[in-house]
Amino acid sequence: MVTGLISKVLRLISRKIYFPDNKKAWIEPAVQKGKELIDDKKIDLIFSTAPPFSNHIIAQQLNELTDIPYVLDYRDLFTGNHFEENESESRKLKKKAAESEWLRHSSGIVALDRFAGDRIQEVLTSKTLNMEIVSHGFDQEDFDSHRNTSLEYKKGKLNWLYSGLFYEANQPDIFLNGLKELFTKKPELKEKTHLHFQGGLDSRIKKLISNLEFEDIVSNYGYLSHDISAANLLKADILWMVSNFSENLKQIKSGKLFEYIGTKKPILGLVHPGEASKLLDDYKAGFHAAPDNIYDVTKTLEEVYELWAKAKIPEASKKFAEMYERKSLTNKLSLFFDKVVENAQV
């Protein structure tokens, strides 16, 4: 907790001192090196990904020096970022002015989802941005080449797995308390449940598990290598995640959901209505409940158990999942690059 608090304070201080971020010192040497590469090679397109948003300034400056078109990739929002707390009005105006400039001169924009794309377009309403949506994704090889698993599967039980760490507002309390509510209503379900966690549980969560009397139905594997964690995803019956950021933030913030989709396993997402809940609906084997509504979570958990007992949990749409394989996403990005270059040559 102390480390997390210190980290948060340092980020706040950094944002007050540096603009657009603490990588600004890299701008000048990066522009110089980029110009050298452009002079030496045949470069058709400049591609910048952010954060850090200093990269977008580098792309803009290289464009000014060379007239080579550039595409800006947003893995997060810059103006209107809900995680930039306590920003002064002067900094907000400075951010919007800088972003408007690099957007105005861009030849293409890549956003994670439509929500993010719409927010970026709102920064510069005087120009219709050439926008492409390229989401997070998964590597199919992660699930084809690894078979070593450490997950201790419990036969005859519904084996839940959470992969990764818990942080900030994303905590397991609502899920665990939802299960407790369900077990109070239907005590027999506890004997048919096992909860697996990989990534690590802190002392607070371990205490919560103890207070709920869940110790006998929990396995905590701690940190695992990527190949073993991927194999464990395939062995579980159902995967779950929580994204309890602001209800106004309808963007998908975590790549975890896409890794889960790669398994074709059933998924429970404790998410607000938005891009993530829509994705789970389209996936067909997805369930979702509001991450701040214990009644909604308990009701959805009960639905999952009822379907599981009848062996009627829906199968995932393989065709839908394949759209998020990284080779497919890379091909989509490549075609977008081709169009940008072609348009620049007209």
Domain ranges for the chain: 15-135+327-345, 141-322
Predicted confidence band of residue 249 (pLDDT cuts 50, 70, 90):
low
pLDDT on residue 81: 74
Lowest mean pLDDT among 17-26, 102-111, 289-298, 320-329: 17-26
pLDDT on residue 244: 84
Same fold, 15-135+327-345 and 141-322: yes
* Domain over 15-135+327-345 is classified CATH 3.40.50.2000: yes
| Number of residues assigned to the chain | 346
* DSSP-assigned states of every residue in 150-168: -----TTSEEEEEES--BT
Q: How far apart are CA 245 and CA 271, in angstroms?
A: 9
Average pLDDT of the segment spanning 296-325: 98
The residue among 195 and 8 whose pLDDT is bigger is 195
Taking the CA of residue 14 as centre, how many other CA atoms within 13 Å lie in the half-sphere pointing to its CB? 13
Give first-to-last CA distance, the chain, whole Å.
56
pLDDT tens column, 259-284:
999 999 999 999 999 889 999 999 99
Neighbours of 195 (CB within 10 A): 22
Cβ neighbours of residue 154 closer than 8 Å, sequence gap 6 or more: 194
pLDDT of 3 above 70? no
- Closest of 32, 34, 28, 27 to residue 53, by C-alpha: 27
Q: How far apart are CA 231 and CA 122, in angstroms?
A: 42
Burial of 94 per CB tally in 10 Å (0-12, 13-18, 19+) = middle
Architecture per CATH, domain 141-322, reads as 3-Layer(aba) Sandwich (3.40)
Give pTM, 2 decimals. 0.84
Q: How far apart are CA 46 and CA 337, in angstroms?
A: 10
